Amino acid sequence: MFWRISIFALLQLGCAAAGWRLLGPWGAAGGVAIAAWLAFGWESWRGLRVIRWLREDGAASAGPAPHGLWGEASARMRRRLRQQEQQVVASEQRLHELLAALQASPNGVVLLDAQGHMEWFNQTAAQHFGLDAGRDLRQQVGNLLREPAFSAYLAAQDFAHDVVVPGRDSTPARPVRIAVRLHPYGDGRQLLLSRDITALEQAEAMRRDFVANVSHEIRTPLTVLVGFIETLRTMPLTSEERDRYLKLMAQQADRMQHLVQDLLTLSRLEGSPLPGLDEWTPVQALLRHCEADARALSVLLTPAGAPPHVLRFPADAPQRSRSELAGDAAELHSALSNLVTNAVRYTPPGGRITVQWQTLPDGGARFAVQDTGPGIAAEHLPRLTERFYRIDRSRSRDTGGTGLGLAIVKHVLQRHGATLQIASVPGQGSVFSVDFPASRLRDAALPRPGAASA
């Protein structure tokens, strides 16, 4: 700064001296004026260069005036521009990160301006409502979501609760339910959030149905018991009538006991840890127990004089005895025996039940039960493992079923990594097959994991 003032002073003195020598006092004054205009022109030229740099290059170059007042000014402006550019880049990066987080959200997110136009939405919202970014951005949300429930919700301007609308992929057979809620923010803007509540509503419906079914299943035998008890207390009965009523009461009590036991079994299966690979059960023992259960039930259900059931189990017991299955022995016996005894219950006397155990190409194994019973219509097959689902309620009660047997089987098999397949043709019988993975099978001749070496 000092040297610039010194140069300006020397320039004025030089011009004044030259003007004095040429024209005297008036020449000296003119020389001073000329020196001032020269300095002014020089600084103006430098300033114009700085302005042109700001207009064209910005902070891309070092600036046209690296020295002097304009050099310092350009350096300061360059630093300020770079700081602003860095702030803009950081803001854009944060914006992209925020949008990426919203894009990854399991809920649908739609940003609306003050007029209700869609400014942005994530992929989940696009799936919920069938939106397309290239077509629907800047469109009115009310023009795209035309469900009457949402239109009424939007018109009421009461956003303290959700509104439920059908999803884009909703069909009568497979309904999809979407909960939508608007959240005002900023200067009149709104945030629309959507979430798929189909599974929640299905779970709630299943809970209601389960409670209703349990109440119904327990209330029916209780009503019978109460009626018989009242009869025994108030009416004179012969010993034969009393014995008959007591027998019927015992049957209803057994029915309730079986129902409670099945409910406790389901609760235990759902709340206990999965069975590991440290307990192995011989397949031969499982098949032998299933055969014993089936033959005992067949004798019990076959009327006098009627032909017995024809039961066929694997004949190559020595070979099967080498196979072992990993898991809880009691659960496995319960599931496999349930499939065999079900075949006996629903197959008329004289019918044939065939049980097979075969190795699969991938190293797994298949347990199959085939009967010659009445068969099952195709529309019932997907729902057979639902709790309390019955094809014929009167038939189930006659055979002592609770409607929970196949649900228990399904849970046991899932816990052991197995899958259940059901095939049936009305009038030709049914086949229930279970596929066990290779990881839960082994040859009993091999040393067990963890066993001490000889």
pLDDT digit string (tens) for 306-323?
898 999 998 754 455 468
Q: Calculate mean pLDDT across residues 121-134.
A: 89
For residue 376, the 8-state DSSP code is -
Token pair recorded at residue 294: 């089936």
Fold match, 105-196 / 202-272: no
The domain ranges of the chain are 2-98, 105-196, 202-272, 275-443
Which is nearest to 343 in space by CA: 431, 413, 436? 431
- H or E segment at 286? helix 283-301
Share the mean pLDDT of the chain.
81
Give the model's pLDDT for residue 2: 56
Give the model's pLDDT for residue 336: 94
Give the model's pLDDT for residue 62: 55
Beta strand extents in 122-270 (DSSP E only): 163-166, 177-185, 189-196
Token pair recorded at residue 384: 């057979």
| Residue bearing tokens 């006996």 | 344
Give the model's pLDDT for residue 69: 63
Q: Calculate mean pLDDT across residues 161-173.
A: 85
Q: Calculate mean pLDDT across residues 113-127.
A: 90
Long-range contacts of 65-69 (CB under 8 A, 24+ apart): 68/4, 69/1, 69/4, 69/43
Q: Calculate mean pLDDT across residues 155-180.
A: 87
Query: Strand 441-443 and strand 365-371: pairing?
Result: unpaired
Please list, in sequence order, all residues whose beta carbon lies within 8 angstroms of the beta carbon of residue 52, skipping any fewer than 6 positions away: 64
Give the model's pLDDT for residue 254: 83
- H or E segment at 340? helix 329-346
pLDDT band, very low/low/confident/very high, at 201 (cuts 50, 70, 90): confident
CATH of domain 202-272: 1.10.287.130
Token pair recorded at residue 353: 């039940």
pLDDT digits (tens, 9 = 90+) for 340-394: 999 998 999 999 999 999 989 988 999 999 999 899 988 888 888 887 777 765 5
- H or E segment at 366? strand 365-371
User: What's the gap between Cα 442 and its chain centre?
Assistant: 34
Percentage, residues of the chain above pLDDT 70: 83
- Residue 420's identity, in one-letter code, is L
Helices (H), 57-180: 68-103, 123-129, 133-136, 141-144, 148-156
Q: Indicate whether 209 pLDDT > 50.
A: yes
Q: Indicate whether 15 pLDDT > 60.
A: yes
**Of 8-17, 172-181, 353-362, 385-394, which one has max mean pLDDT?**
353-362
Please list, in sequence order, all residues whose beta carbon lies within 8 angstroms of the beta carbon of residue 34, skipping any fewer than 6 positions away: 15, 19
353 in helix, strand or coil? Answer: strand
CATH of domain 275-443: 3.30.565.10
Q: Calculate mean pLDDT across residues 262-269.
A: 81
Give CA–CA dist 451/8, Å, rounded. 101
Q: Calculate mean pLDDT across residues 231-243.
A: 85
| Edge-to-edge strand list for the sheet holding 441-443 | 280-282, 323-326, 441-443
CATH of domain 105-196: 3.30.450.20
pLDDT digits (tens, 9 = 90+) for 442-452: 887 555 554 44
Long-range contacts of 23-29 (CB under 8 A, 24+ apart): none
Which of 21-35, 60-74, 75-89, 257-271 is predicted with the least confidence, judged by mean pLDDT? 60-74
